[in-house]
Copies of this chain bind each other. A is one copy, B any other.
Amino acid sequence: MRALARELRTAVSALYNHVSSKDEVLNWVQDDVNDAIDTSSFGSEPWDIALTRWARSYRETFAKHSPLIPVIAVLPIAGAPHTLTMYERVAEGLRTGGWPEDMVVDTIVAVESFILGSAMDASAPEWIFDVGDRCDLAPAFTDAVAARRGSGRPASDRAFVLGLNALITGLQNTLKEIDEFPNSAGLASFGR
């Protein structure tokens, strides 16, 4: 709040004439950041392609604003029009793509959880998995960390692409099973 006041050339206390708390400011910021996420593929592309594009744009946007991640993850969406519009496009895209209505939100939340977790990971230092001393405690892991080193792009990008491909493939599979055995749709979404 002090930094914001400085930028606006006012006293900190003056802010509270326009805003009821820092949380309200963050809500506005969240809505502004969410507006930068690309949802243009929904409507023109199949749901799985569009969801992949959305996920990449979403992660990229929040990797640039990592301190916001734990905040927006628990922030109610009421009163954030751009955020609402984003979810509307995704929900409409999934519905049109054949997803049953009672699974649309769960699908969005699942993909979003992966995205936000990946965006946090992207803001971690590259050497986060360096074992240091105590290689003795984790020989197989130490080897695995060494084996993935030096392959061009950042490690977190590789993990994201691997996971996103797997997640989308798995979701395609879930949807196909629902279409083939409509009565066991509940089972597919609930697990054992």
A: which residues have CB within 8 A of B?
Answer: 69-70, 73-79, 81, 84-85, 87-88, 90-92, 95, 101-107, 109-118, 120-121, 123-125, 127-134, 137-141, 143-145, 147-148, 151, 155-156, 158-171, 173-174, 188-191
Residue in A84, A104, A121, A141 with the greatest tally of chain B CB atoms within 10 Å: A141
Given contacts A92-B140, A106-B155, A109-B155, contact A166 B170 (CB under 8 A): yes
How many copies altogether?
2
Interface pair B105/A129, CB less than 8 Å apart = yes
**In the docked arrangement, what's the CA distance between A95 and B113, Å?**
26
Residue in A90, A95, A106 with the greatest tally of chain B CB atoms within 10 Å: A106
Residues of B within 8 A of A79 (CB): 132, 134
Nearest residue (CB) in B for A123 is B74
Give the dominant DSSP class at A's interface: helix
Residues of B within 8 A of A105 (CB): 129, 141, 144-145, 147-148, 155, 159
Nearest residue (CB) in B for A85 is B137
Residues of B within 8 A of A158 (CB): 106, 189-190
Residues of B within 8 A of A87 (CB): 129, 138, 141
**In the docked arrangement, what's the CA distance between A121 and B166, Å?**
21
**In the docked arrangement, what's the CA distance between A121 and B116, Å?**
10
Interface pair B88/A137, CB less than 8 Å apart = yes
Nearest residue (CB) in B for A189 is B162
Interface pair A120/B113, CB less than 8 Å apart = yes
Interface pair A138/B91, CB less than 8 Å apart = yes
**In the docked arrangement, what's the CA distance between A167 and B130, Å?**
26
Nearest residue (CB) in B for A93 is B140
Q: Looking at the complex, which one of B78, B101, B163, B174 makes contact with A132 (CB distance below 8 Å)? A: B78
Q: Looking at the complex, which one of B74, B113, B159, B160 makes contact with A163 (CB distance below 8 Å)? A: B113
